[in-house]
Amino acid sequence: MIKAERAKYVHEKLDELYPETPIPLDHTDPYTLLIAVLLSAQCTDERVNLITPALFGRADNPHAMAEIPVDEIRAYIKPCGLSPKKSKAISELSKILINEHGGQVPKSLEELEKLPGVGHKTASVVMAQAFGVPAFPVDTHIHRLAQRWKLTDGKNVVKTEADLKKLFPKESWNKLHLQIIFYGREYCSARGCNGMICPMCTTLFPNRKTAVVTKK
C-alpha cells in the first residue's frame, strides 16, 4: 500500500472498531477538562479520574481554585506525579483566567498555550474536546503508532501532527485522535506490539521482517 491507501484503511478500520469516542477524562465543562488534561501529563487517564472528584469537589472553577493554597492543591494531585509543577500551574492559570479572560477558558489555541502548564498538545485537546474546533493532538502514543503505520517519518511530534493533518479529512481529526489512542491501548501498546504483532500492523505490512524502532 502507498501512504494514502494506508491512511484510508486505518481510518475505515478505526471507524469500524470505535464508532463512539467518549472523552477519557471525566469533566463537566472546559475548565475541569483543562485541569484534567494538564494533570494527565505523564499520568494515566484512569489515575486522573480517581483524583479529580476530590479536587473538583473542593474547587471546580477558577474563582474557587484561585483561593486554595498551592500546597493544598498539591496534596490533592500528588498521586499524578509532577505535583509541585502542576499545582503551581493550576493555581496560576486559574488566576489568569479570572484576571484576563473573565473567568472563562479561552477558545483560542494561542491564548490557551500562553497559560502556565499548558503546551500545544493540552491546548489542542481542549480545543477539540471542549469546543469542537478541529485539532489533532499528538501524544507519544499517537506519535509511535503513526511511525509503525508509516504515516509519518517520526522526526518529532510536531512533524507527526502536520503529517496526520495532511492525510486525514479535517472533520475527522477530533474523533480520529481518540480512536488511535483507543486502538493503541487495546492492540498496539509499547509492550504489546513492535510493528509486527497487532492486526493493524500485520495487515498494513504483512511482509515486515524486523521490529519497528520508533523515534521519540
- What residues act catalytically? 121, 139
Q: Using alpha carbons, select from 145, 110, 141, 160 the residue that is nearest to residue 40.
A: 141
- The CA–CA distances, whole Å, from 102 to 44, 57, 98, 142 equal 31, 22, 5, 34
Determine contact, residues 168/177, Cβ cutoff 8 Å: no
C-alpha cell recorded at residue 69: 493554597
Q: Where are the alpha helices (DSSP H) in the chain?
A: 3-17, 30-39, 45-58, 62-66, 70-77, 83-101, 109-113, 120-131, 140-148, 157-167, 173-186, 199-204
Considering Cα of 92, then 94, then 97, then 98, what sign does the dihedral take?
Answer: negative
> For residue 62, how many other CB atoms are within 10 A of its CB?
24
CA dist 34 and 48 (Å) reads: 12
Please state, in angstroms and rounded to a whole number, the distance separating the CA atoms of residues 127 and 158. 17
